């Protein structure tokens, strides 16, 4: 079992589109993942579970993983939250270097 804490820094908290993106990321891992907030715990792969926690901006949460890829899963979910809910793919697309584009493409 592996666990880390972080603080939600998004004005909207973890709701709607950000919650959906969080769940999609969590579902990429084999480990069992949970979010804990104020003595409540929810499956990190469940939209209803996450929404039931009502995670506002500024709240401290813990993400816990258990399984073969628990460290990678928890670390990536923490990084996603700490980035303000920007996935690695979105970050790469938004910060692409024009020099990387090959002629004719």
Return the CATH number of the domain spanning residue range 2-88: 3.30.1340.10
Beta bridge partners of 61: 6
> What is the residue-level pLDDT of the chain in tens, covering all 105 positions?
999 999 998 888 888 889 999 999 999 999 999 999 999 999 999 999 999 999 999 999 999 999 999 999 999 999 999 988 775 555 444 444 444 444 444
Provide the 10 A C-beta neighbour count for residue 80: 20
Q: Where are the domains of the chain?
A: 2-88
Give this prediction's pTM. 0.80
Instruction: For the chain, give the secondary structure using H, E and C.
Output: CEEEEEECCCCCCCCHHHHHHHHHHHCCCCCEEEEEECCEEEECCCHHHHHHHCCCCCCEEEEEEECCCHHHHHHHHHHHHHCCCCCHHHHHHHCCCHHHCCCCC
């Amino acid at each position: 079992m592996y666990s880390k804490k972080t603080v939600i820094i998004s004005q909207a908290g973890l709701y709607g589109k950000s919650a959906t993106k969080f769940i999609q990321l969590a579902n990429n891992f084999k480990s069992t993942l949970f979010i804990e907030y104020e003595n409540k715990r929810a499956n990190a792969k469940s939209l209803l579970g996450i929404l039931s926690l009502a995670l506002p901006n500024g709240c401290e949460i813990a993400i816990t993983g258990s399984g073969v890829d628990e460290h990678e899963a928890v670390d990536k979910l923490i990084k996603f939250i700490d980035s303000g809910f920007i996935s690695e793919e979105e970050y790469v697309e938004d910060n692409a270097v024009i020099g990387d584009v090959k002629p004719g493409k």
